[in-house]
Chain A
Amino acid sequence: MSAQEAARRQLIAALTPIVGERYVLHRPEELLLYEYDGSALDQATPDVVVVPASTEEVAACLREAWQRGVPVVARGAGTGLAGGSVAERGGLVVSLARMNRVLSVDPLARTAVVQPGVVNVDLSVAAAPYGLHFAPDPSSQRSSTIGGNVAANAGGPHCLKYGVTAAHVLAATLVLADGSVLRVGGAVPDAPGYDLLGVVVGSEGTLGIVTEVMVRLTPNPEAVHTFLAIFDEMDGASAAVSAIIAAGIVPAALEMLVGEGIAAVEAAVRAGYPTDARAVLLIEIDGLREDLADQARRIAEHCTAHGARELRAAADEEQRQRLWAGRKGALAACARIAPHYHIQDGVVPRSRLPELLRFTEEVARRHRITVVNIFHAGDGNLHPLLLFDLREPGVRERAIAAGEEILRACVEAGGSISGEHGIGIEKRDYLAWIFGAADLEAFAQLRAVFDPAGQMNPCKLLPMGSSCADIQQARGALRAVAQGAWI
């Protein structure tokens, strides 16, 4: 037995009394499930997976890992798109899947306390009896977890009006690398001390494992109005988005679907997306009845002025739900176009949308790859979905090159390389495109304050240079979209 295997067995033996044999996974067929996240750009096998049931168990497991110098990777639902939950250096994966209870809902304070493994949509279901919901609604909301949303600072269509996850988290319980437990934030804001919660949200599991979260719940709006604006030209649609924002109108959601994606979505859900359109805006406004009437009128004017051929309102709640099912299932639906994908997440100032959108199409054409743009247009958050068939020689390299070119253009337009999916493994080397050496050093210092030994999700989020050079990267091993997966 190798020394490495001996160490692994010792770790298994140490973890077993903490969580019980059933919840220490170590056989190859058990570990297989934990090799990928939603992007499947990167792949690695953890040494051990542990599935604890409480903060105390997480803490005890981390203490064992810490004493042994074993890297630790937190995992929610594994829907991340940047390799964040992939155990690149092996080590221990801590799955929060069993910590999936909504602990309490306080309708007066409009807050809830939840365990990290609660699935996003289940929280809104728990809040519904009180006329409340959890506003961040990533398209993955039927599978992604609150812990994963917090770690990624997830966004979603309605974050245009309501803000991303960071604005909806009041407090978190965090287990640090050494197994100590720390509560950051609080039910009462602005207590003395530094806003540690502010950096924990979005830290991709590199500062600690979130084991409990207090979130803010949002009252359901009095009225909701959902409609499609249908365009024969992509430029008209993107110009309409820029014009709506420039006019100071902030809808609840303003999503855009372009080209072949529309037909793919329609084929999957039959929600009434016009398959012959070049571009469609899915627009939702919510709030007080009078405000809505006014917004709807102004939005319609901007769409018409930019060449919308038709505005089509959702007739009832069922149709509204179907339109959203189409939008949120877009990634899976596009599997009908080609078997493999690579999705980017760049952000641009909203006035620059038309030119950047054109550019994504031009890049894709040049690299001979199909691109489908279905994205959070109101935020300027592009999601060019590059589609291809890996059996075609050289296509993987072309997809990665195309993705990089698009992100570079986002940066040059004054934007960012990621709006919501995170940096993870995938974009860590791009971070230097937007941050200088001093910025990165300050980030690294912050990280070292929480995790001096560098054991929490090592090598993620920051470019780590040589320390991670020996890692076997399965970059570009793009995986087929799981058919039928609700994503």
Chain B
Amino acid sequence: MSDFALHGLAPSRVLAPASAEELADCLREASARGLAVVPWGGGTHQHLGRPPERYDLALTTSRLNRVVAYHPADLVVTVEAGVTLDDLQAELARSGQWLPWDPPLPARATIGGLLASRATGALRLAYGPPRDFTLGMRVALGDGRLVKSGGRVVKNVAGYDTHKLQIGALGTLGVIAEATFKVAPLPEYRQTILAAFTNPHLPARAIEELRAAPLQPIAIAALNRLGEERIAALQPFRDGQPAHLVVLARFAGTVSAVRRQIREATRRCVAVGARTIELREEDDTPLWAAIADSTAAAYDGTLLLRVGVPPDAFGAGAGLLEQIACRRGWAPRQLGIAGGGSIYSRWHVAGAEPAAVAAALAEVRAGLVTHGGYAVVEEAPAALVTHLDLWGPPPEGVALMRALRASWDPAGVLNPGRYVIA
């Protein structure tokens, strides 16, 4: 099977354009001939969405792998879509800068793929999602028009910010050729504390306390016991005592500011009944990389849900998911990320009837309604994927979204059938 196989489908051709113009040419051709295209970055997020309805061409951005312009003095960088996030970070780090963005698998994941799948990580608590630091893009629309929006300066209101539409569109509106970002100075020092709770319920209060002034954590993650056990980087910190839940809070800045925050955060966690461990600086980066990677596809027969809830329902949402999965013996591994209100819940559904999984999913969605939350199935085993409503009900404004897709991909060749806007 080809490297570009998807749900058992393989493309008849793989195209690897070497420039934005060539990328656009490929799409113009495909559109004219009605050939279905799957844009392909690092392949780390191809588990998202339904199987494509048709799949003729894989369009890889592997040759669009240049840093187009980087002016450290302006804190702005422009890259082609096929550059991996790690490669970009390495380049930025040489000038003491970074993109404060920590999605899973950055060694393989490309900028274009990460943007298209709206992949984020825990750093969004402090730095916002990528839409907030993406300044502009060049995009090949479905019919092969090469268009740009935004610009290469940190402030710009000229034209519509259409690049924001591409973020999270899963390649159904166009293929990102190039993106420009506002970058940030690397913090002088980063350190994390770990707080273990014996209370099985997500200590929403602890998270509130960790966010309250003057603390300014750059990331907060909460893991249930099963989630925590899976993260090898956490092994050294396990002290043999029973813990049901672990909350990690990460701080950045000057050494003295971080130290004071760690002390204060420790005091607050202890006050709400946690045992705390202060991690060493050198453990910080690998640990958070491992946490990010735990939301990547596992291809092990499990089901991965991403649930969005407002902050006041963070605890309730996590509880709902655990309860629904535990009742069925599906041993949920959970990671909650503060700031974006995301809870990832991985269920061991091997052997379960599709109807039973669909019913559990419906129960989750029904339970989230009162909170204004939503649930997306990010990864489903092959036996289930076509039986589940992966995206949930159509979003408000779906008619406009369809009209937009019809304007920019009139032949409907981009990832047909995969996204919520099919």
Interface of A toward B, CB cutoff 8 Å: 106, 108-110, 131, 152-153, 155, 159, 163-164, 166-167, 182-184, 186-196, 198-199, 201-203, 219-220, 222, 242, 245-246, 248-250, 287-291, 294, 347-351, 376, 379-381, 414-423, 427, 431, 434-436, 438-443, 445-450, 461-462
Contacts and interface: CB of A to CB of B under 8 A. Distances in A.
Given A190-B129, A193-B420, 6 more contacts: A152-B157, A199-B160, A288-B214, A348-B153, A380-B155, A419-B153
A188 B310 contact: yes
Contacts of B72: 246
B129, B131, B391, most chain A CB atoms within 10 A: B131
Is chain B's interface secondary structure helix, strand, loop, or mixed overall? loop
26 contacts: A163-B128, A182-B397, A188-B308, A188-B374, A193-B398, A194-B401, A194-B421, A198-B167, A248-B184, A250-B75, A287-B253, A290-B253, A291-B257, A350-B75, A376-B155, A414-B153, A415-B152, A418-B156, A419-B155, A420-B157, A427-B158, A438-B145, A439-B148, A446-B404, A446-B407, A448-B407
Q: Which one of B74, B401, B403, B421 has the highest number of Cβ atoms from chain A below 10 Å of its Cβ?
A: B74
A220 B213 CA distance: 8
Contact of A248 (B76, B147, B185, B401): B185
Interface string B160-171: 111011011100
Contacts of B66: none
A192 B395 contact: yes
A196 B213 contact: no
B219 interface: no
A414 B404 CA distance: 30
Contact of B397 (A153, A196, A417): A196
Nearest to A108: B312
B94 interface: no
B312 A155 contact: no
B157 A194 contact: no
* Most B C-beta atoms less than 10 A away, residue of A106, A376, A435, A462: A435
Nearest to B165: A194
A372 B131 CA distance: 34
A201 B213 contact: no
A242 B342 CA distance: 38
B208 interface: yes
Interface in B79-97: 96-97
B400 A450 contact: yes
Contacts of B260: 288, 290
B354 interface: no
Tell which of B75, B157, B396 has the most Cβ of chain A within 10 Å: B157
Contacts of A423: 157-159
B380 to A, nearest CB: 15
A198 B165 contact: yes
Contacts of B162: 199, 442-443, 446
Nearest to A294: B254
Interface in B158-210: 158-162, 164-165, 167-169, 173, 184-186, 208
B218 interface: no
Nearest to B172: A194
Nearest to B252: A291
B273 interface: no
Nearest to B251: A288
Interface string B116-156: 00101000000011011000000001000111110111111
Contact of B74 (A166, A184, A349, A446): A349
A202 B136 CA distance: 14
Contacts of B147: 438-439, 441-442
Given A189-B341, A381-B155, A442-B162, A288 B75 contact: no
Given A249-B185, A347-B155, A189 B164 contact: no
B309 A431 contact: no
A288 B216 contact: yes
A68 B394 CA distance: 32
A419 B148 contact: no
B417 interface: no
Best-surrounded residue of A164, A196, A440, A448 (most CB of chain B within 10 A): A196
A363 to B, nearest CB: 20
A59 to B, nearest CB: 15
Nearest to A201: B161
Contact of A167 (B132, B153, B157, B376): B132
Contacts of A106: 312
B337 to A, nearest CB: 11
Contacts of B342: 190
Given A189-B340, A438-B145, A439-B149, A245 B74 contact: yes
B372 interface: yes
Interface in B401-422: 401, 403-404, 407-408, 419-421
B73 A198 contact: no
Contacts of B74: 245-246, 349-351, 380
A187 to B, nearest CB: 5
Given A191-B374, A288-B253, A439-B147, A417 B168 contact: no
B96 A191 contact: no
A275 B96 CA distance: 38
B168 A190 contact: yes
B289 to A, nearest CB: 21
A167 B403 contact: no
B161 A202 contact: yes
Contacts of B421: 193-194
B336 interface: no
A159 B157 contact: no
Given A193-B421, A439-B149, A349 B71 contact: yes
Contacts of B148: 435-436, 439
Contacts of B419: 192
Contacts of A416: 151, 153, 155-158
Contact of B400 (A196, A380, A381): A196
Nearest to B151: A416
Interface string B204-235: 00001000011010000000000000000000
Contacts of B404: 194, 445-446, 449
* Residue among A190, A414, A445 facing the most chain B CB atoms (10 A cut-off): A190
Contact of B75 (A190, A192, A248, A448): A248
B161 A290 contact: no
B309 A188 contact: yes
Contacts of A183: 396-397
A194 B169 contact: yes
Most buried by A among B149, B152, B310: B310
Contacts of B34: none
B381 interface: no
Nearest to A450: B400
Contacts of A198: 131, 161, 164-165, 167
Interface in B276-325: 308-312
Nearest to A154: B157
Contacts of B184: 248, 250
B373 interface: yes
A415 B151 contact: yes
Contact of A445 (B129, B132, B408): B408
B79 to A, nearest CB: 16
Interface centre among A415, A427, A436 (most CB of B within 10 A): A415
B256 interface: yes
A439 B257 contact: no
A208 to B, nearest CB: 10
Which 4 pairs from chain A and chain B are nearest by CB? A198-B164, A248-B185, A193-B395, A246-B73
Nearest to A439: B147
A350 to B, nearest CB: 5
A202 B213 contact: no
Given A198-B165, A415-B151, A416-B156, A166 B340 contact: no
A291 B253 CA distance: 7
Given A219-B213, A419-B155, A190 B120 contact: yes
B392 interface: yes
Contact of B372 (A187, A379, A418, A419): A187
